[in-house]
Amino acid sequence: MSIKLLLLVFSALIISSRPKLIADHHLSSRISPFPSQSSPIPPLKAQSPAIQSSFPRVPALFVFGDSSVDCGTNNFLGTLARADRLPYGRDFDTHQPTGRFSNGRIPVDFLANRLGLPFVPSYLGQSGTVKDMFQGVNYASAGAGIILSSGSELGQRVSFAMQVEQFVDTFQQMILSIGEEASDGLVSNSVFYISIGVNDYIHFYIRNISSVQSLYSPWLFNQFLASNMRQELKTLYNVKVRRMVVMGLPPIGCAPYYLWKYRSKNGECAEDVNSMIMESNFVMRYTVEQLNRELPGASVIYCDVFQSAMDILKNHQLYGFNETTEACCGLGRYKGWLPCIAPEMACSDAAGHLWWDQFHPTDAVNAILADNVWNGRHVDMCYPTNLEAMLHA
């Protein structure tokens, strides 16, 4: 490694750790969505018209989750999990970092286009009034999990339960602004996209935080996560949410970080890790099926990201990818040793790569996943139906 790159690595680590961390590393759900200081990221002025609906199909898109869908929440937090500097965002519409953990768009950006909506803004990045949230808000926070303490070593993050509380606050603000009937109609006809749970493995169970592995077998841990997810989805239902998209977990055992960590010889995935993820997805899908039976008027779909991702891995050449194991940005074997923290660490063209960094896919993969959520264009991965069909039901 060159001296120049070493200096970049250490300086980037220092910069990322500057924000002061609060004592317990997590945030109150009452944190203001209208910060007094301006965002370090300029607001989005425009978006690509590609595959964009000519009119809004739904009133709004609300997003909950982790770094897979964070669009800038962590820009405002004291955390190591940040994507507010290049090369993140270099292939985005603005060619600037926004807080998205990708070289370009994340799945909900493509889905917003399909729905005829603008890109959904971060809750903490809001600088206007509650009316600016009427077309949707993104509450997702990198490092967050279903379990409150998941990702605590990274610093501040907004857990799933806290994100749900933030939405409840948003809903109450809507009622004060436009009345209960109009608010109920807006929320019940909108789409709620939930992508969370992977950090409960990466930053909690696999690391054996609090000796969790001696307390819970993988199967019992999966059931514990599903029980907590069930509780939060019912909380959303109780505030008039009816259309929900629950994303399953990806095959993180194939991510560059785990290929490096488990010393994969020829790019073989870490099967022990993937086995836990598949079990988790099985339990979560069953939970969604139960909710559809129990909640009158609810339409909850479960999307099997694992299935779609493995299809891309298996048929990568048909999808146009030539690099399936090495990340575009990082250091070490498979570029899985160190995270993406400097432009010099990135490849020149991410289009042929499945992986952007240690854990996150490129926007080319995100586009495929979004297509599959929307109408199963490549793989029918959503059950009992896809998003487009759900909206027409």
Which of 66, 91, 357, 363 is labelled catalytic? 357
Predicted pLDDT of residue 51: 58
49 band by pLDDT with thresholds 50, 70 and 90: very low
Q: Are 337 and 260 in contact (CB under 8 A)?
A: yes
What is d(CA 145, CA 132) in angstroms, rounded to the nearest whole number? 27
Told to judge if 67 belongs to the known catalytic residues of this protein, a careful annotator would answer: yes
- Report the percentage of the chain scoring pLDDT > 70: 86
Mean pLDDT score, 375-379: 96
- CA-to-CA separations, 99 to 89, 96, 124, 140, 341, in angstroms, rounded: 8, 9, 12, 11, 13
DSSP state of 155: B
pLDDT digits (tens, 9 = 90+) for 125-177: 987 788 889 999 999 999 999 999 999 999 999 999 999 999 999 999 999 99
Q: Is 222 left (phi over 0), alpha (psi -120 to 50) or beta?
A: alpha
Domain map of the chain by residue range?
Answer: 59-392
39 band by pLDDT with thresholds 50, 70 and 90: very low
Q: Is the pLDDT of residue 238 over 90?
A: yes
Backbone CA torsion sign across 360, 141, 75, 77? negative
Told to judge if 102 belongs to the known catalytic residues of this protein, a careful annotator would answer: no
Q: Which two tokens stand for residue 315?
A: 């048929």
The larger pLDDT score, comparing residue 44 to residue 207, is at: 207
Q: Which of 45-54, 271-280, 282-291, 341-350 has the lowest mean pLDDT?
A: 45-54
- CA-to-CA separations, 236 to 165, 193, 323, in angstroms, rounded: 9, 12, 40
Predicted pLDDT of residue 393: 85
Class of domain 59-392: alpha beta
Whose CA is closest to 100, among 116, 86, 84?
Answer: 84
Predicted pLDDT of residue 224: 97
Q: Which of 51-55, 201-205, 215-219, 323-327 has the lowest mean pLDDT?
A: 51-55
52 band by pLDDT with thresholds 50, 70 and 90: low
Which of 67, 122, 159, 190 is labelled catalytic? 67
Backbone CA torsion sign across 71, 74, 76, 80? negative
Predicted pLDDT of residue 239: 98
Burial of 311 (0-12, 13-18, 19+ CB in 10 A): middle
Told to judge if 264 belongs to the known catalytic residues of this protein, a careful annotator would answer: no
DSSP percent split of the chain into helix, strand, coil, nearest 5:
45, 10, 50
Predicted pLDDT of residue 5: 52
Which of 16, 195, 360, 363 is labelled catalytic? 360
Q: What is the pTM of this model?
A: 0.89
Predicted pLDDT of residue 53: 63
Mean pLDDT score, 178-188: 98
What is d(CA 317, CA 217) in angstroms, rounded to the nearest whole number? 38
* Full 3-state SS string of 37-104: CCCCCCCCCCCCCCCCCCCCCCCCEEEEECCCCCCCHHHHCCECCCCCCCCCCCCCCCCCCCCCCCCC
CA dihedral angle for residue 189, residue 245, residue 374, residue 201, rounded to 10 degrees: 160
The larger pLDDT score, comparing residue 345 to residue 23, is at: 345
- Sheet with 191-195, side-by-side order of all strands: 61-65, 191-195, 243-247, 299-303, 382-383
Q: Are 91 and 365 in contact (CB under 8 A)?
A: no
The DSSP code sequence of 173-185 is: HHHHHH-HHHHHH
- Mean pLDDT of all residues in the chain? 90
What is d(CA 337, CA 339) in angstroms, rounded to the nearest whole number? 7
2 band by pLDDT with thresholds 50, 70 and 90: low
Q: Are 94 and 31 in contact (CB under 8 A)?
A: no
Q: Are 235 and 181 in contact (CB under 8 A)?
A: no
